[in-house]
Amino acid sequence: MSGKVHIARRHDSALKHVTGQALYIDDMPEPPGTLHGALVLSRVACGKLVRLDSEAAKAMPGVVAVLGPQDIPGRNDIAAIGKNEPLFAVDRIEFAGQTLAMVVANSLDAARAAAARVIVEIEAEEPVLDIAAALARESYVQAPATILRGDPEAAMAAAPHRLTAEFSVGGQEHFYLESQIAFALPGEDGDITVHSSTQHPTEVQHVCARVLGCDFNQVTAVVRRLGGGFGGKESNASWVAAAAVVAANHTGRPVKLRLPREVDMVTTGKRHGFDYRYTVGFDDEGRVLALDAVLAADAGWSLDMTPGVVTRALTHTDNAYWIPHFRAVGYACRTNKQSNTAFRGFGGPQGVVVMEDALDRIAHHLGRDPVEVRALNFYAEGRDETPYGQTVDENHLERCWAEVKAGGEIERRRAEIDAFNAANPVLKRGLGLFPLKFGISFNLPHMNQAGALVHVYTDGSIRLNHGGTEMGQGLFIKVAQVVAEVFQVDVERIRPSATSTAEVPNTSPTAASTGSDLNGWAAWDAANTIRSRMVAFAAEHFGVAEADIAFADGTVRIAKPGSNQVLTFGELARLCWLGRVSLSATGYYKTPKIHWDPAAMHGRPFFYFSFGAAMAEVAIDTLTGESRVLRADLVQDCGESLNPAIDLGQIEGAFVQGQGWLTCEELWWDASGRLRTAGPSTYKIPGSRDVPPIFNVKLLENAPSREATIFRSKAVGEPPLMLATAVWTALKDAIGAVGGGKVAVRLDAPATPERVLAAVEQVRREARTAAP
């Protein structure tokens, strides 16, 4: 290759990030007359809104308006999917933190002070606050969904062995560094521009137009960069932007609405927590014959992204394993909590843990090595189908598994850990391995499309715009590398511009790990269109065949009999302009091959699978329940990486974020339904000291995608988060060592010190009971 793609390049904003020069929405200069918003929230989780009195707030200095549902000119509905999710509550209260009104004032302090003076009376009712209660009431936001293959009941009855178990995994706060923010600027003739920290500019455009009651073309959503998203700004950013545009429309002045961390956490959705029950049937070797599982998700109070999350959880319940008879039923439980939403992995992490728990129990039951039992059940290359009907092609499971075991020195370390545990009654260490098969594409086929706009200027510089948003993940530099490869110019000649619905319309969200896949191809299509025009013009202008035109190293070489002529790329661009050749083009891409029947839960929902494997070593203190991750070895399939430096950073960050989900990030609501872990003092995300001190990350080599992905690369955003499941497995291994490996371990996540200590005590009790 030429060196434009498949090489490590730093993030295009890296220096601006570390020097503070990168501009975020709250850094933008505020035009004269800018107003600031503050929200009025419910402190009750469920009930009837009886009274909202804003007179005292309106009389405070600097207050311009207090807005409620009566001030929305269009529809009071900010639902991403479905309907009836009000921007401002009308009569019903569905969760503590629900938005009731918004104060707009000349300063942020004045707005917040006035919001605190609004009088709210709510006739409280008993809330539903957990999955068990919702299941008992059959309280769902959608009908249960089922993936079924074969005859699980008959296979289970005939299986030599059967086990039944249950466990739970909690949700997770996105905790992006930049909290939700929008800045709305009204224009002429009812036009409005909204700068939004969103992963989905088109949804912001649509929701803002809905609440204003105007056409989409009157609203322009603009995004230069986000200070993190992780799925939390796919749908939740839309209602923040909608509140800002309602206020800008009402006052005729620019309005900025930014949410303080506590307000952000109590108003926005999280990763869905899940409860699990399953029965697994297996033979004497540990080969799985049947699985019958129930996955119950805490949807919160409304639909939001729950349908897609539940579907992806069900399609990943098999993870890396062939299961001939399979049933997984997904329940979307309605509770009086924040409406849960997209989060990195989008249900995949909640799906893969089922078989990992089952295989650990199978290995324990049979007295076999769980590493061997896992490998025994791997999908075979190109032969086995998933329970939803997709063949597992280009299967790198065996390679990833072998490489992580070899790099992690599994035999030596297993012996060392066993010896350590035998000699230490208080501290115990554990080793866990995890294989991954993760599908790449949006659940909904129509979302797998993208557009781009490329301009070549007559000096040879290039402007690039596409529908993806840059949230720190390196999308802009990757797509710029694609365009540089097409034109064979330095990537520094390419200037990515802010994502805007005015430049590329009808975009899909930057989510589902598809940012580079979709937008990279769309940009390639646009750039290749221009390149083809330039080649055709040059061939005619210089009297040569098109095959005699070559782009290389910022130049264009024209091969003529007896001599070669060389122009700079900019010189050819100017010649094309003089020859009246268009140097601007749009590009478009739609993912091929995918199809899905949501009723039958069958089809090919994914363009391809990404594979990986992880080994983690942990230590626990059996007196306090505290734990540490001592080492992690990861192997991730990225195809032929567009940018290995970016991908390695994504893998490291995803793993630590997944580690946080499974170990320390605990969401806690009190008995009244108020979220009490609403800031860094009470909600613990991993810090620098939680990163494994030995952290080995490797990209799987010589594994270009056989599918027509952009330059044979594969997605990297979500899959590595699931590799942290090895930490959870290792913790169970360490806890099991307390009972000499004789007792199966139930460990709910996050595995906080309290939960680890409770599991240790349970193992001790069961070990004493089992002792002869």
Which residues are within 8 A (CB) of 108 and not within 5 positions of it... i.e. 6 or more apart?
Answer: 36, 38
Identify the residue whose tokens are 């009941």: 153
Tokens of 431: 């080793």
* Count of alpha carbons within 13 angstroms of residue 604, beta-carbon side: 12
Tokens of 357: 């728990």
Share of the chain residues as helix, strand and coil, in percent rounded to the nearest 5: 35, 25, 40
Q: Does residue 94 contact residue 24 with C-beta atoms inside 8 Å?
A: no
Bond into 644 cis (ω within 30): no
Please say if 718 is a catalytic residue.
yes
At residue 282, φ and ψ (nearest 5 deg) are -155, 165
Residue 104 β-bridge partners: 37, 65
At residue 739, φ and ψ (nearest 5 deg) are -100, 20
Q: Which of 234, 485, 640, 718 is catalytic?
A: 718
Give me the sheet containing 584-590, strands edge to edge. Answer: 494-496, 462-466, 449-456, 584-590
Q: What is the DSSP secondary structure assignment for residue 128, as one 8-state letter?
A: P
Q: How far is CA 492 from CA 11, 480, 567, 673, in A?
A: 12, 9, 19, 52
Q: Is 555 exposed, middle or buried (0-12, 13-18, 19+ CB in 10 A)?
A: middle
Q: Does residue 639 contact residue 705 with C-beta atoms inside 8 Å?
A: yes
* Among 534, 539, 547, 546, CA closest to 580: 534
**Whole-angstrom distance, CA of residue 576 vs CA of residue 534:** 6
* Among 432, 392, 360, 440, CA closest to 634: 432
**Whole-angstrom distance, CA of residue 686 vs CA of residue 149:** 39
Q: Active-site residues: which are they?
A: 718
